[in-house]
Each structure stands twice: as structure tokens, then as C-alpha cells.
Amino acid sequence: MKFLLRFFGFLFTAGTILFLAGLAAVAGLFWHFSKDLPDYSQLQNYEPPVMTRVHAADGSLLGEFAKERRLYLPIQAVPKLVINAFLAAEDKNFYEHGGIDYTGMARAGVSYVQNFGSNRRPQGASTITQQVAKNFLLTNEVSFTRKIKEALLAMRIERAYSKDKILELYLNEIYLGLGAYGIAAASLVYFDKSVNELTVAEAAYLAALPKMPASLHPVRNRARAIERRNYVIDRLQENGWITAADADKARKDPLAVTNRSNGAHTFAGEYFSEEVRRDIFERYGEKKLYEGGLSVRTTLDPKVQVMARKAMVAGLVNYDEAQGYRGAIQKLDLTSDWGVPLAEIKSLSDISPWRMAVVLESNDQSARIGFQPGRELGGAVSKQRETGIVTMDGVRWARIKGRAPTAVSQVLQPGDVIYADPLYKDGKAIEGQYRLRQIPELSGAMVAMDPHTGRVLAMVGGFSFDQSQFNRATQAYRQPGSTFKPIVYSTALDNGYTGSTVMIDGPIEIDQGQGNIWRPENFSTGKYQGQVTLRNALRLSLNTVTVRLAQEIGMPVIGEYAKRFGVYDELPNYLAYALGAGETTVMRMATAYSMIANGGVRVKPTLIDRIQDRYGHTIFKHDQRECRGCDAPEGWKNQPEPQLIDHRERVLDSMTAYQITSLMEGVIQAGTGTALKEVGKPLAGKTGTSNEAKDLWFVGFSPDLVVGLYVGYDKPRSLGRNAQAGHTAAPIARDFLKLALADKPATPFKQPVGIRLVLVDAKTGLRAAQGQNRGVVLEAFKPGQAPPFYDPTLVAGTDVIDGTQQQGISPDADRAVMRSGTGGLY
């Protein structure tokens, strides 16, 4: 008996010693692993990388910029269905345990022992809290060391934070595949929905993803994805979080994911979106752009953008097709399935409704084409094949070596890779028939701007962003040609000249020194008007008059005005620059004309209205006007109405701005811009053809909209001996303005106080004779500038010398050599 007592005593003592030793070992391990644990308090101030979202002026999404596509969603905004789905899939006892599921850990330990040495990944049993500890504070290392640290951190996190806070961190941090981090981004990426719109089946699928998003791809691993989704649905039903009927319906739902479209593609706003990205990068840097969660409200008007894109593309294509057909993009072997090799060819995705196709067979009357098949979400080429017919009407434009085709087979041969779009007749697409297209070699840019604020409403930076990301609206420096002349004339009008001032249009020679003589000529070489008013000189874009005017005013003064308007930073003092020989951008020219259109007030072009940080605080606002009275106490107490105080600088006298606007109205009504008369609204503007017709421009405006554009080759070359801006650039502006101003009233330009309108003879610039109704124009004058009464002895093209009327101008008198130190020009 004593022996048994001693034996049990020994066992008890040994057990106690072992127990205490075990406790000491455990305590030692806890101390060992606890001493270098990460600081979990950082979770309190955790700011995950959140994508910057860019919106158009109407609130529609234009673009997203992120390294990790994530939108942060407070737990209060997460629907109960979504929360329950993730709890069912990951941790159904989340709201009951203290951070560790001991049963699960034991099961994982047994599994580890069983699989030791098999190179199989050990089974995990981490709670949501443990996953938060791992994702935020630890690495993905597979070891007991990390699991112990994970457990210790989980217990500490549970003591420091509420369950809702832990769940909020988890739901916003987890990676759910396809580049989506967090449930808000995943909901948009997979289903193009907010989390509040998710169905039971959709929420269950997202909840199935955290452990293995790549293995549950909705297309590549569809069967496995549905199986795992249905497992989550079963757990939801088992836990009583959905009804049996809801579960049955959810299991039967197909796994239908959405290939979410790019907002910039939708509005043809890729160039605009990229320009905004560059702007934010320059303001705040890379980290703020891609991780700062900025909300950017831009100035882009989607409707105006589509109009601008449509007009610009049509203009480029029309010119390019007039030059003839250059042939197929490339040849394709048709001996096997043509869809797969065609799908491998890079096509432009932003020129819809154009589609890449391959010619399958052709004859004299038609050609059968097969369209490039799409790709499924997983990247596989779609098995669907779509074909169409190109008839003679679809290739009639395609002249080859100057000759119009007489058969379709002359243009299209089997294996030719081409672009095609629907063939229209009487405004309706003919079903199954298509028209041959080719990517234009000619390019260009367009900017539409609100002249009162500088807000850029639309921007076209080229034919296709997919083809070239070079933004010709802001990055291409080109010669503006005669579109610069209104700056020269504004300088003159601001310094005492009027639209009735008479100048000489005749041959002129400029001595540049060292025997170099420059002889500027008008577009109509050898034709001169003699005496001509400034109004007519601008209307007819007379180069010799502009050069003489620049001589009289002085290039330094013109350079100062050009700098004020922002056309050039520094303008060399050479007379050729008065004709637009210097290089500038479409954006700069549109901004300069905006300052004329708004009455002479400085505007700064902007693509961004306001920027807010991730907390909703406004950190940038374009409109800097002061609002006096806007912060009045709540309620109306008969106080004065709020007033917007504009502190912007004046760059041009308002009366001068009206005068030059009036002169440019003449360009539209009876000058080089008559193509725009079709718009049927008050318009002012100027065409411009650069040296050797390498660039064709038009810049103009209505009272509330400015448009500037140019067309030209990226590697500058002439558009042709007879190329004129009035025939190429102006019609593009016309087509755009007809759309943009269609529902706008015909508002005349606002006449400033002090301007006096006087009826003058259009040729002489003198006051019109009493009863004179023909050949007259209303000219705008500042106080004291009105011309004297009409003198019938003075008519355009004649001189009165010693009382005798002399016809014409002495060639010798007008070819006087001017020595003004203009320096070398061309």
C-alpha cells in the first residue's frame, strides 16, 4: 500500500514538475516570440492604398489609377448579406471567439504532422483576426513560428479593437483576384455593381475567393468556382442566414461575371484621362496618385467629348480617303481557322464601330470578311465567328494609283487584314454589309473650352489613343500660321488702330542683312488689294498687311501681347513670327482665343474642377473667385445677395476684345472661314495654314464655347500644294459646332460699355454716305475713334495726288526695301 502511495506520489510530483516545466517552456516561448512582435497599434491609423477615381463633369466614371485596385468601405456600409457570406466561408464563430479557434489549430497541427516531408502545403485554420494579423503585420511564410506570432497578435488585436473594426480591416485588405483588393473593388470588377446590389450567389462567390482567387477564376476554373460558391451558399443556409428557397435559387444562378468597361473608352476620353493623370502626378507625386484615394472631378463633358471625337475622326478620315487606298494592314494564312491568328494581331480598341477583319474570299461584286473574335475573361479566344459582306459601295472610295476601282477584287484579296464598319444608306445601317476603312496617316488635335472659366470640355489628342498616346493637343508644338494674326491685330487695336484703319497690301521686301531679302507673299501669289482696311486684311488673311502692321507696332510689343495671351513664352523679334512661324500648341491657342471671347480676362486652362482626399476634404479647386455673403448664417434675413468677386487679371481691354471679335466675325461671314456659316450661330474665328501647308488650323468661338484644332502629319510634311485650312480644318470645326451648339440660342457677342457701332464703307473704312446700303459694314469704335464722314474722292485702290485721281499703286513706292533689323528668317 505504501509502495502504491509512494508510486502515485512520485507520478504526481513528476507530473507537477513536468507541468510546471511545460508552463515555463510555454511562457518562455511566449516571451521569446512576443519580444519582437510588430506593433499592432498601427492598425488604429491604418490607411490602405486606395485607388484614385476620376469622374467627368456629370459624375460618370472616367478612369481609375491604382497599384492595388481598392475602395475603402466602412463596416457600416457593408450589407449584412456580404458580411454573413464571408463569415460562413472563413470564420462562422468570429463574433464569439477571442481571436483563436483552438479546435481549428489542433486540426491544422495534426494535418502538419501527417503531411510532414510530403512537400504539401500545411492546412490552415486561421480566424479572420489571425488573417488580419498576417496580412497587415506578418509575412506569408509557412511555419509554426509565424503561426505562433499570428496567434499572439490575434489575441492582442482582439483586446485592442472591436470586432467590427477587425472585420472592416479584413474586408478592405483581402486580395480577391483580377487585381481587386477589398470587397468594394471586387464587386465592381467582377459584377460591375456596388456591394449593396450583390445577389446571394454573387456575395457567396466573392466570399469564396480569399483563400485561392487564382484557382477559382470564373472562366478558366468555372466548375471549381461554382462548386466553392455553392459550398458557401450551403454554409449560409446551415447557419440560418438565408432561407432554403434563397439557397436553392442561388445555387441555380449562373456564374455571370462582367468585363467592366473603361469609362474613358466610353467617352473617347483616353487622352483627357491621361492628361489628368499627368497633372495629378505633377501636383502630388506617384504615391498620392496611385495610393491616395483621391476623388477627382474633371471638366470633361461626355456629350461634347463624343461630338469632338466624331468630328475630328471624320475630318481625318475624309482627307485620308481622298488620297486613295494604301492596301491591307498585313496578310493572313487562311489554310486553318482564321479566327485564332487574327485574334493575335493587335487591333485598335478605341475606334468603334470600326472592327478588324480578314478577307475570306472576294470577287468582282463583293468580298466576304471575318471579324476578329473577342476574348473571354480568362484570355481564351472566343469560338464564335462573325462574318459580313463588303460590296462595291463599300470600296468605291478606295482609289489605287489615282484610279477608282471597278471591281471589289481589285481592292480586296483573300487573306487581307483590314478594318471595316457598317455600311449606311439614307442614315440607316444595311444589315450584314460593311465598308472598307483604313487608319489615316494624317493626325491632329482638338480642344473645346469654356472661355469664361478655362474649363476644358473636350480634348481629342489624336486619331486613336491605342495607336499613339502622344497628346497632340498639349504636347505637339506646331506653327499656328494665320491663327496668330488676331494676336497681332489685337495688339494694334489696343494701341490706337481700328478695323477701318487703311493699310497697304502690296509687295514688300525685308532686308535681313548680309544681302538676304525676305519677300513675304499672300496665299494668292502675285495678287494684291492695294489700299485695304484692317478688317478686310484679316478677313482675307493678307500676309503683307500683317507684316507692315507688325513693322509699325514693333515685334517687341507683339511679343509682349503674345506672352500675355500665353501663346508663346518668348517671341523672337523677327517679322515672320507675326505670320505664325513660331511653334505653339492647340491648348495654348484655344486659351488665347478664350481671353478674347470673354472680353479680355485671363483664364487658366484646366481639366480639373476639384480634388478631394480620401476623407472628402477638398484639397484643390480651380474656381478661385471670392464669394462674398456665401457664409452668411442659416436663414434669410434680408441681407444682400451673395456676390462672386472676380480678381482675375485683365490681359486685353474689353473694347479691344470686342473689336477683334467683330473682325473675326467677318472671317466667318465672308473670309477664309465661310465653311462655318452653316452653323447658323454668331461665330468668330480664324483659319491658319502654316509654311508649305504642313499644318492646317482653325481656332474660333461662340460667346460661350471656344474650339481650336489643327491637322497635320506627325512627321511634318506638306498636305498638298492646294491645301488650305478653310477647306480642311474649318469644316471639322463646323461639324463639331453644329452638334455642340444645336440646342443653344443664337446669342450675339456682348457689346461692352463705351463701344460705338458706326456704319462705314467696307472698302475705304470711311463713314458710309447718307443712304448708302450696299458695301457697308458696322464697325466698332472706341470713344473718339469714329472715322470722318464719307469722301467720294477716296475709294479703295486709288490715290489722290494734286487733285487728280490716280489708279493703282506705284510698284516702286510699295517695293521699298525695309531695313528694320529683323535678322534671319527662313
- Distance, in Å, from the CA atom of 265 to the CA atom of 193, rounded to the nearest integer, reads 19
Where are any strands of DSSP class E within 497-572? Answer: 502-505, 509-511, 517-518, 530-533
> Which long-range contacts link 395-402 to residues 24+ away (Cβ below 8 Å)?
395/325, 395/435, 395/436, 397/321, 397/325, 397/436, 398/321, 398/324, 398/325, 398/436, 399/324, 399/325, 400/324, 400/325, 401/324, 402/324
Closest of 58, 483, 530, 498 to residue 267, by C-alpha: 58
Q: Active site residue: 187, 443, 464, 482, which one?
A: 482
pLDDT, tens digit (0-9, with 9 covering 90-100), for 389-430: 999 999 999 998 888 999 999 999 999 999 999 999 988 999
* Residue 619: count of CB within 10 angstroms of its CB: 14
pLDDT, tens digit (0-9, with 9 covering 90-100), for 659-681: 999 999 999 999 999 999 999 99
Task: Please provide the average confidence, as pLDDT, over all residues in the chain.
Answer: 87
Judged against a pLDDT cut of 70, whether residue 240 lies above it is answered with yes
Question: Cβ(655)–Cβ(663) under 8 Å?
Answer: no
Closest of 348, 344, 433 to residue 380, by C-alpha: 344
Distance of CA 171 to the CA centre of its chain: 32
pLDDT, tens digit (0-9, with 9 covering 90-100), for 314-369: 999 999 999 999 999 999 999 889 999 999 999 998 998 999 999 999 999 999 99
All three cell numbers of 303, joined, read: 456629350
Judged against a pLDDT cut of 60, whether residue 450 lies above it is answered with yes
What's the DSSP call for residue 704? T
Judged against a pLDDT cut of 80, whether residue 148 lies above it is answered with no
Total-model pTM: 0.86
CA atoms within 13 A on the CB side of 469: 6
Helix and strand numbers, DSSP H then E, in the chain: 23, 29
- Distance, in Å, from the CA atom of 390 to the CA atom of 223, rounded to the nearest integer, reads 41
Judged against a pLDDT cut of 70, whether residue 525 lies above it is answered with no
Q: Active site residue: 90, 168, 270, 665, which one?
A: 90
Peptide bond into 748 cis (omega under 30): no
User: Which residue in the block uniquely carries the three cell numbers 478594318?
Assistant: 419
List Cα–Cα distances, 302 to 56, 270, 298, 464, 805, in angstroms: 7, 12, 11, 17, 61
For the CA atoms of the chain, what is the radius of gyration? 37
Among 428-437, 589-598, 624-633, 739-748, whose mean pLDDT is lowest? 624-633
The percentage of residues in the chain with a pLDDT greater than 90, rounded to a whole number, is: 66
Q: What is the mean pLDDT of residues 59-86?
A: 93
Among 139-148, 171-180, 535-544, 725-734, whose mean pLDDT is lowest? 139-148
- Distance, in Å, from the CA atom of 675 to the CA atom of 733, rounded to the nearest integer, reads 9
Q: Which residues contact 89 (CB under 8 A, 6 or more apart)?
A: 204, 207, 208, 210, 231, 232, 235
Where are any strands of DSSP class E within 703-803? Answer: 705-712, 756-761, 776-781, 798-801
Q: Which residues of 328-345 are buried (b: 16+ CB within 10 A; e: fewer)?
A: bbeebebeeebbeebbee
State the pLDDT at residue 263.
64
What's the DSSP call for residue 117? T
How many residues does the structure list for the chain? 826
The percentage of residues in the chain with a pLDDT greater than 70, rounded to a whole number, is: 84
- Using 50, 70 and 90 to split pLDDT, how confident is the model at 820? very low
Question: Cβ(411)–Cβ(325) under 8 Å?
Answer: yes
- Distance, in Å, from the CA atom of 568 to the CA atom of 582, rounded to the nearest integer, reads 8
All three cell numbers of 333, joined, read: 494564312
DSSP assignment string, 279-337: HHHHHH-HHHHHHB--EEEE---HHHHHHHHHHHHHHHHHHHHHT-----SEE---SS-
Q: Is residue 482 flagged as an active site residue?
A: yes
pLDDT, tens digit (0-9, with 9 covering 90-100), for 744-796: 999 999 999 999 999 999 999 999 988 888 999 999 999 999 887 656 555 44
Q: What angle do CA 253, 257, 258 make, to 5 degrees?
A: 135
CA atoms within 13 A on the CB side of 778: 8
Phi, psi at 362, each rounded to 5°: -150, 155
Q: Say what angle helices 163-173 and 128-137 make with each other, to 10 degrees.
A: 60
- Distance, in Å, from the CA atom of 545 to the CA atom of 535, rounded to the nearest integer, reads 11
Task: List residues bridging with 55 in a β-sheet.
Answer: 61, 297
Judged against a pLDDT cut of 70, whether residue 79 lies above it is answered with yes
Judged against a pLDDT cut of 70, whether residue 815 lies above it is answered with no
pLDDT, tens digit (0-9, with 9 covering 90-100), for 691-739: 899 999 999 999 999 999 999 999 999 999 889 999 999 999 999 999 9
Q: Is residue 90 flagged as an active site residue?
A: yes
All three cell numbers of 599, joined, read: 472680353
State the pLDDT at residue 427.
86
* Residue 47: count of CB within 10 angstroms of its CB: 11
pLDDT, tens digit (0-9, with 9 covering 90-100), for 149-159: 677 777 788 88
